[in-house]
Amino acid sequence: MINIYVGNLPYKTSEADLAELFSKYGKVERASIVMDRQTGRSRGFGFVEMVDHAAGTKAIEELAGNEWNGRPLTINEARPRGSGTTGGGGFVSSTTSFGESAGYGNQLADSNADGNGQTPGQAGDAAPKPDETPGSQGYSNSLLNG
Confidence of residue 83 (pLDDT cuts 50, 70, 90): very low
Give me the residue spans of the domains in the chain: 2-99
Average pLDDT over residues 112-124: 44
- Which CATH number applies to 2-99? 3.30.70.330
Confidence of residue 143 (pLDDT cuts 50, 70, 90): low
pLDDT digits 0-9 by tens, 29-82: 999 999 999 999 999 999 999 999 999 999 999 999 999 999 999 999 998 766
* Number of other CB atoms surrounding residue 58 within 10 Å: 14
What secondary structure does DSSP assign to 1-53, as a single string?
-EEEEEES--TT--HHHHHHHHHTTS-EEEEEEEE-TTT--EEEEEEEEES-H
- pTM beyond 0.85: no
pLDDT of residue 97: 44
Q: What angle do CA 56, 57, 61 make, to 5 degrees?
A: 115
